[in-house]
Structure 1
Amino acid sequence: MNQPFIEVKNLKKYFPIKKGVFSRTAGHVKAVDGVDFSIYKGETLGLVGESGCGKSTTGRLLLQLLAPTEGEVRYEGKNLVGMNTSELRKMRRDMQMVFQDPYASLDPRLTVGDIIAEPLEIHQMARGKEKDRRIDELLNVVGLSSYHAKRYSHEFSGGQRQRIGIARALALNPKLIVADEPVSALDVSIQSQVINLMQDLQEQFDLTYLFIAHDLSVVKHISNRIGVMYLGRIVELADKRELFDSPQHPYTQALLSAVPTPNPLAKKERIVLRGDVPSPANPPAGCTFHPRCPAVMDRCKTVKPVFQNRDGRFVACHLYE
């Protein structure tokens, strides 16, 4: 395989917990706690896990919308961490984001045309008639019409708003798009339309995706490889077929056992996890999954498992050491 397009090494993000009159730091929420992965040119890497596991924070760290506490994010060999504002602005032409909430991510005071034009104006890539032509082109690409440019976002449905968000992300001809649960707020029938649109755009514009979601069926449909996150760490990363056919980490096995099957007669053994997800402000020692793991060993309670490569797939579990 070629060199990674995006390479993430030991990425961490700790948010301070402030207490008292003087707002002293009493601890940290370990939202992302040592994440490693690579994304290759033209592929879609899916990132799944329960709410609060650090998926969205990882996406924002990738684009430097949040400054990491520690670690590296390399884009085509260049480390984005520590870049100054002007350097990051140039890099952001190549990296855009589609946000989860199509209602909150669009400014209600701007027309659709102004929303799409904003990145073009900031980066001075089009003016006048050229800008208007580009807006019309982007609206048509995402399945909307030129006359929609003069309307406001509140006049559109959720699916149409997400199309507007995708058009805005495409305005600068990016190479990478981080899609942060782009269909989770949409009806099921609209979800498939947006997913199919994103696949068509990927082929048309040679895009690379980091696709963040909690719906395993959606991730399976669009992704080439899938990473499974638990409490700020990736516990398994593999090709989607390998992951669904033979999940190795106990957490991945439990997640996949909960996916409903269309055949009501098919028998499926459900793995029910005991207990609740621990707090990221006070994660367990050793393997963070050990309080809920059905295959827990004494070693799991004290020693953090290594995220290791096993014939092209990665897993962090003492069962395979």
Structure 2
Amino acid sequence: MSKPLLEVRNLKKYFDVTGGILSRKVGEVKAVDDVSFSVYEGEVLGIVGESGCGKSTTGKTLLRLTEPTEGEVIFDGKDITKLTDEEMRKMRRDMQIIFQDPYASLNPRHKIEKILGEPLLVHGIGDKEERRKKVKEILEIVGLPGDHASRYPHQFSGGQRQRIGIARALIVNPRLIVCDEPVSALDVSIQSQILNLMEDLQEKFKLTYLFIAHDLSVVKHISHRIGVMYLGRMVELTSNEELYDNPLHPYTKSLLSAVPNPDPDVKQERIILQGDVPSPSNPPSGCAFHTRCPDCMDICKTVRPEFQEISDSHFVACHLYEVNENN
């Protein structure tokens, strides 16, 4: 396989928890806890998991929108965690993000022309006339009339605003786009339009996506490979087809059992997990999933399973498969 465009090695992001009158550190939230994966040029890697599992924090930490606590993020051969602010600013031309909330991520006081033209200005691309022309072109590429550049964000619907968010990420010709739940705030009918647009753009501009979502059916539609996160850790990573046909981790199996089947005659067995998601500020010892796992063994309570390759390009962190290997 070709060299990865993005390599993430042992990435950690801990947030301090303060308390008391002097706001001293009393603990830490392990939002991202030792995550490793690669993304290859031209592919879509989906990351799924329930709310609070650290997937959005992973995406933001990759771009250094939040600084990582530990680990390496190697983009195109360079470890971006070691870059200066100025070097990182130049690198951002190749690494963009589409945010979850299209309204909160657009400045309500600026016209669309200014919002989309700003990245060009920051990176010194073109003169005023060229920038204006490029803004109109990019609006038309994402399915909006070019003359809408003179409007403000509140004059658009949610789906149109997300198209503007996509246009802003696309306008500097990036190589990697982190899509942070880009359709979760939209109506279902609009979601499919935005997903189809993103697929078309990916082919047209040879883009690489890291696609973060909590909806497995959305991720299945767009991704080549899928990683499953639970409580700040990656528990399974494999190709799209393999994950749906042969899920290995008990958490992945329970997630897939909850995906509705459009065929009413298909009887699907739901795997209902017991208990609540533990707090990331006080995760369980051993395997983080052991408190809710139907297949929990004694080793799971004390020893953290390694994230390892079980079969061809199928990675999983679960003692069930280590035990099978030893027998």
Pick the TM interval, shorter chain: over 0.9
Q: State the partner residue of 1:5.
A: 5
Q: CA deviation at 1:140?
A: 0.6
CA distance in 2, matches of 1:67, 1:281: 18
Q: Which amino acid aligns with 2:162?
A: Q
Give the CA deviation at 1:12: 0.3
Report the CA distance between 1:228 and its aligned residue: 0.2
Matched, 1:199 2:199: yes
Structure 2 residue runs without a partner (length 5+)? 323-327
Q: What corresponds to 1:128 in structure 2?
A: 128
Q: Distance in 1 between matches of 2:305 and 2:128?
A: 57
* In structure 1, distance between residues paired with 2:70 and 2:61: 11
Q: Aligned residue for 1:313?
A: 314
One-letter identity of the residue aligned with 2:44: T
In structure 2, how many angstroms separate the alpha carbons of the residues matched to 1:156 and 1:263? 36
* Residue 279, structure 1, aligned to residue 250, structure 2: no
> Are 2:262 and 1:254 aligned?
no
In 2, Cα distance between equivalents of 1:15 and 1:54? 12
- Alignment partners' CA distance in 2, 1:288 and 1:23: 28
1:119 match = 119
> 1:159 aligns to what SS in structure 2?
helix
Q: CA deviation at 1:22?
A: 1.6
Q: CA deviation at 1:129?
A: 1.1
Cα deviation, residue 215, structure 1? 0.5
Deviation by residue 1:9-31 (Cα, 9 ceiling, x = unmatched): 00000000011122111000000
Q: What letter corresponds to residue 279 of structure 1 in structure 2?
A: S
| CA shift for structure 1 position 82 | 2.3
1:111 counterpart letter in structure 2? K
TM-score (norm 1): 0.99
Number of the residue aligned with 1:177: 177
The 3-state SS of whatever aligns with 1:143 is coil
Partner of 1:17: 17
Distance 2:7 2:309 in 1: 15
Structure-1 separation of matches of 2:67 and 2:283? 22
Query: Partner residue of 1:95?
Result: 95
| C-alpha distance after superposition, 1:44-88 (max 9, x if no partner) | 000000000000000001111111110000001110012111110
Deviations 1:122-160 (A, max 9, x none): 111122211111011100100011110000000000000
> Secondary structure of the residue that 1:166 maps to in structure 2?
helix
Specify the alignment match of 1:190 in structure 2. Answer: 190
Task: Give 2:137's aligned residue.
Answer: 137
Aligned residues: 321
Q: Could you report, residue by residue, the CA deviation over 1:246-270 in whole angstroms, capped at 9, with x for unpaired residues?
A: 1000000000000000111111111
| Residue matched to 2:325 | none
1:312 positional shift: 1.0
CA RMSD of superposed structures (Å): 0.6
Aligned residue number for residue 233 of structure 1: 233
Q: Secondary structure at the match of 1:164?
A: helix
Matched-pair identity in %: 66
* SS of match in other structure, 1:281: coil
- Between the aligned partners of 2:105 and 2:60, the Cα distance in structure 1 is 14
Q: Letter of the 2:192 partner, please give it.
A: S
In structure 1, list runs of 5 or more residues that go unmatched.
Answer: none
Q: Secondary structure at the match of 1:161?
A: helix
Partners of 1:237 and 1:165 lie apart in 2 by: 28
SS at match of 2:315: strand
Aligned pairs for 1:53-68 within 5 A:
53-68=53-68
1:300 aligns with 300
Deviation, 1:301, is: 0.2
- TM superposition score normalised by structure 2: 0.97
Match of 2:243 in 1: 243
Indicate yes or no: 2:90 matched with 1:84.
Answer: no
Q: Distance in 2 between matches of 1:97 and 1:85?
A: 18
Q: Equivalents in 2 of 1:46, 1:127: separation in Å? A: 37
Distance in 2 between the 1:192 and 1:206 partners?
Answer: 21
| Aligned partner letter, 2:228 | V
Distance 1:19 1:218 in 2: 39
Alpha-carbon shift at residue 171 of structure 1 (Å): 1.1
Deviations 1:191-239 (A, max 9, x none): 0000000010001111000000001000000000000000000000000
- What CA distance in whole angstroms lies between the structure 2 residues aligned with 1:251 and 1:128? 52
Paired residue secondary structure (1:25): strand
